[in-house]
Structure 1
């Protein structure tokens, strides 16, 4: 699952803390420092991994967070916030280690078998006989089937986040009994586990409920797991989870898990005052404030986050690929990274792909292969396209100024500085950037309605199978491609990569197709960085986990 971040860069809970970009004459074609930059981003995990039996019973864990407008993580409008909240009162059936190895949760799937016959893959999931939704409905093969039906794209009324993989399933059938689901694919789909890390209650999988039931609402009766909803305060945005009396597996170690709805500055103060137990250090100042606090550990490691600049190809001025390319050539990504990374001792190469991270096998720097930081070339291209500089330096054509909007959420200084840098870079080639402020609560609507010209947003990988998500970023007919760019011919090439059975070969093919997709000049990866947190000592299985999402019952306080 690739999950879009719900807040501006400096405000997202668990955002990557980014670090100082180097000042050097040794820059590559994308504008990054090559002398002192490591070849890959950090792949270190730092979360105090602690066995279940070494965690004490009881206690409360409080952190910053809230529910999202759309709480169904399978919905196209859901974000990272929704996925995190969902996992505390719904099934966590399949997880991954920090480096991406598959882990099956026996409290849900007591046995998993994968076979290939006649070139087609079959996955048999045997469901724990005790597994039951909170409303008393057995968790059985119908939940797997309902999840597939909602997400496979056959019914366009479902606003599904991603149909990839689900659309290669030809059937989900009852096995030896109702507690066994037999999933048959057309061909082989090696990353199948990413499709059923969690699943929907059949009642939640109707079109109406899939799209609307979880909008600012929880449905604990359709959930399952060691915790359930205690309070869900739609006024404050606070949430409390408590132990679920209907849970059949390992009981949750905590008495309560609490999310409090605070912005980043307030969150740091709350941590300093002991009101929350961990906090994301979003910049040098917040890290400085929490570093050295008594009873505090700084946990920092690799990050499966990436932040990118989205160009709306449906906007009148940005409909011209030449203008979009000129904008991208005008952006010095190393300077954007310097702003984001200021005051912190961390270095990484500029990201070169939307689908794989530089610490992953198969990664290639596709951005540098198709684009260079070249403001002089941008000027020439705009000249050739008929955009001539006016007396104020801003270009115009047919009486219309070359002015594009940049949507800025909230008022965080780091976000403002980043917007200002974009404005200065574009002004240098004759483009005026109109910075338009919007409320953080408008995030989902801005994207779903494409109410932007340029927009900075991020994605978080919930699994290691990056090549699977090529279509989500670049297919012209996919709602998740918020740039609107692409062509049917390119879509066909993208979808062909999903039919490659070998993961290494699939990644190689996806890299080649991504280079073609990046030549639409509507999407520009900017930076990643590590994840860094201040955590109260003794809080186990919390921190920088990369692809790992610790099961809720394993989170708690050490004995």
Structure 2
């Protein structure tokens, strides 16, 4: 899960986040004519070019969020950058194609198939005979066995994050020769293709010490097109260089530098020529698009003040210089200094804009979706009827359009918790709960005992003298400067126009997927008595109450830079809920505490965060939706189910799917589990996350990858005079 970014599936296995960065397809065959998956809503946009058109050499400077704490993807503090490095330097038996489906990686694997199912499942791997580690040793059964033992969960000395799949293996043996690996499972395991990707050498997995500490700061032995030269925490950089023992197509780049650059600094870094590739927010994407257009022809409006920036286009600085010249004798000293300062700002910005013309924005949709999480452990949302009412109040199509339509991306709501459109396990199961229906939402709330205009007792809240009083315009501001406010209160804020849609979302940012700009809220609909009519005691715009308490849900969102999208979406959701009588108390918290102190600890009613879509949902999605159970110490073990909503039936369906080798039956079980998850209304998928990547125009075979696993050896810069082609293939 991630409120930040989505990473590859290896990252999802090791941490609750995602991001990347990095995050549902069947494991065996497709569904044939009964395939409900459809096509991906957006494919990769990577400026494909044949290798013959790519220059030999060069350094790609790639902006990332941070230098990872560990290079071991199976540790709990691995992140999206850990996974990105692993993709470039370590073997993966399978990779994902543009539709998010696993395909055999021929650089490492000649074949892999289930050769026996009775009495036990046996998978036979036949390795590429050229595949060797960077120390010259062949990749073989010893590496597979070492990874199994480390991740099986049987030795607590290994600090592993997850053991799913490896704990089902009974033994690993050498096959008929050194290139064959025979894996026998104690229990059937449908997601066997998820294993050994990435594969670490036995040097890392062989002992607990080397696993726990040896691979955190360095990887001395690798087996990919690149190798790790240096992890430099002082300069915030990881340097990857060509692997001289790589047997596949040679890497076109001589070096890849992964450089930590904050998202709000990336446009400046691009303009300064410090980086070549970076995921960016929509506001920066708009800057790059504007830079690519023809020079502006704006001129100062008659009577316009130069301090406001005459000439709204790229001629602003020129216009200001001309205006100052024409009025030089009329300007006082202070006004002249202000104008010169403004001129320097415009000139600096225009220089940046000119430099940004060397870049373009490549767009896709991430293999991850944003959801509304409903904490069902306590309070009003412990009642399934209230959760279902929240779901029925939402116009998910409008929310998707708010985020994606201004970016020119398909604005289709996500219909599954367990897969995304194009992945083989995908089917739109949202019908299990139904679409937006105000009357149905109100009926569910009434059935749960929440009535309009009921008496409300004053509700005290820390920091408020009378949090339950009506007409309160805003909460007090917290110590860190992040305030809270109520959507649905009877005040003027509710009468302001809802600026949703394209205009309201024009400058959204979904880089970190949470934000600080809100849409203004519209008032809750209802009849209004003649002026002067006294309202019933405790009534507030027809909002709901039960047992003397108003129906107010605490909506927690992060407050850091790049958080505009989540905050905008949160405000639109608040408006939708107000229309059925539910108020939302929106609380902004610091980025550092958002997950740790609120999501993971259950200190919220509503929250927005993201989950990556896995190619192996029976394995990877189970802990996200598993029914919480009491732990030995008396606490509640929620695994990764931060909504605390789960059922025995969903758990059973996941278990059945994980043990079902028939792909059609496996998909049917996954879809059935998803329908049950929808019905429980613990989380409501909203939209697939946008992926915006700024890339130097001469940089090819990289950009916005969507589902597709990057092919690092094909990345590079065009030869002089060469041009990328949309029809050119970077495939080998």
- Work out which of the residue numbers 286, 292, 298 in structure 1 matches 2:284: 286
1:290-309 equivalences under 5 Å are 290-291=288-289, 292=292, 294-301=357-364, 303-309=366-372
Distance in 2 of aligned mates of 1:8 and 1:303 = 8
Q: Structure 1 residue 211: deviation in Å?
A: 8.8
Distance in 1 of aligned mates of 2:432 and 2:685 = 13
Match for residue 435 of structure 1? 587
Q: Structure 1 residue 526: deviation in Å?
A: 0.5
Match for residue 513 of structure 1? 673
Q: Structure 1 residue 64: deviation in Å?
A: 1.7
Check whether the contact 2:397–2:412 (CA below 8 A) recurs between aligned residues.
no
Q: Structure 1 residue 59: deviation in Å?
A: 0.7
1:275-424 equivalences under 5 Å are 275-283=274-282, 285-291=283-289, 292=292, 294-301=357-364, 303-361=366-424, 363-388=426-451, 390=456, 391=538, 392=540, 395-398=544-547, 402-408=552-558, 410-411=560-561, 412-424=563-575
Match for residue 193 of structure 1? 193
Check whether the contact 1:49–1:540 (CA below 8 A) recurs between aligned residues.
yes
Residues 148-207 of structure 1 deviation map (CA, whole Å, 9 limit, x = unaligned): 344456668877666554444333223345654211236765553222221234464489
Distance 1:15 1:495, change over 3 A: closer
Q: Structure 1 residue 519: deviation in Å?
A: 2.1
TM-score normalised by the chain length of structure 2: 0.63
Partner of 2:570, secondary structure, is helix
Distance 1:211 1:5, change over 3 A: farther
Check whether the contact 1:4–1:78 (CA below 8 A) recurs between aligned residues.
no
Larger radius of gyration: 2
Distance in 2 of aligned mates of 1:286 and 1:345 = 15
Distance 1:381 1:479, change over 3 A: same
Partner of 1:350, secondary structure, is coil
Partner of 2:44, secondary structure, is coil
Distance in 2 of aligned mates of 1:77 and 1:315 = 30
Residues 378-409 of structure 1 deviation map (CA, whole Å, 9 limit, x = unaligned): 34433443445543466555565533241325
Distance 1:115 1:486, change over 3 A: same
Match for residue 61 of structure 2? 62
Match for residue 544 of structure 1? 704
Residues 410-459 of structure 1 deviation map (CA, whole Å, 9 limit, x = unaligned): 24333322222233333442333232312258646755545544332223
1:20-419 equivalences under 5 Å are 42-65=41-64, 66-68=66-68, 72-75=72-75, 78-100=78-100, 102-109=102-109, 112-118=112-118, 120-127=120-127, 131=131, 133=133, 139-152=139-152, 163-176=163-176, 180-185=180-185, 189=189, 191-202=191-202, 204-205=204-205, 213=213, 217-221=216-220, 223-234=222-233, 237-244=236-243, 247=246, 250-283=249-282, 285-291=283-289, 292=292, 294-301=357-364, 303-361=366-424, 363-388=426-451, 390=456, 391=538, 392=540, 395-398=544-547, 402-408=552-558, 410-411=560-561, 412-419=563-570
Q: Structure 1 residue 532: deviation in Å?
A: 3.8
RMSD of Structure 2 on Structure 1 (CA): 3.9
Which of the pair has the greater relative contact order for Cα pairs under 8 Å at 6+ separation?
Answer: 1
Check whether the contact 2:133–2:223 (CA below 8 A) recurs between aligned residues.
yes
Distance in 2 of aligned mates of 1:156 and 1:446 = 29
Q: Structure 1 residue 351: deviation in Å?
A: 0.9
Distance in 2 of aligned mates of 1:201 and 1:194 = 17
Structure 2: segments with no counterpart, 5+ residues: 8-17, 24-37, 293-355, 457-537, 629-637, 720-732
Say whether residues 1:499 and 2:649 are aligned partners: no
Q: Structure 1 residue 523: deviation in Å?
A: 1.4
Match for residue 335 of structure 2? none
Distance in 2 of aligned mates of 1:462 and 1:162 = 15
Partner of 1:88, secondary structure, is helix
Distance 1:188 1:558, change over 3 A: farther
Distance 1:536 1:222, change over 3 A: same
Partner of 2:675, secondary structure, is helix
Distance in 1 of aligned mates of 2:714 and 2:669 = 38
Match for residue 425 of structure 1? 576
Distance 1:312 1:207, change over 3 A: farther
Partner of 2:88, secondary structure, is coil
Distance 1:71 1:385, change over 3 A: farther
Distance in 2 of aligned mates of 1:180 and 1:444 = 44
Check whether the contact 1:241–1:258 (CA below 8 A) recurs between aligned residues.
yes
Check whether the contact 2:600–2:642 (CA below 8 A) recurs between aligned residues.
yes
Say whether residues 1:528 and 2:688 are aligned partners: yes
Check whether the contact 1:71–1:214 (CA below 8 A) recurs between aligned residues.
no
Q: Structure 1 residue 62: deviation in Å?
A: 1.4
Distance in 1 of aligned mates of 2:643 and 2:236 = 30
Partner of 1:328, secondary structure, is helix
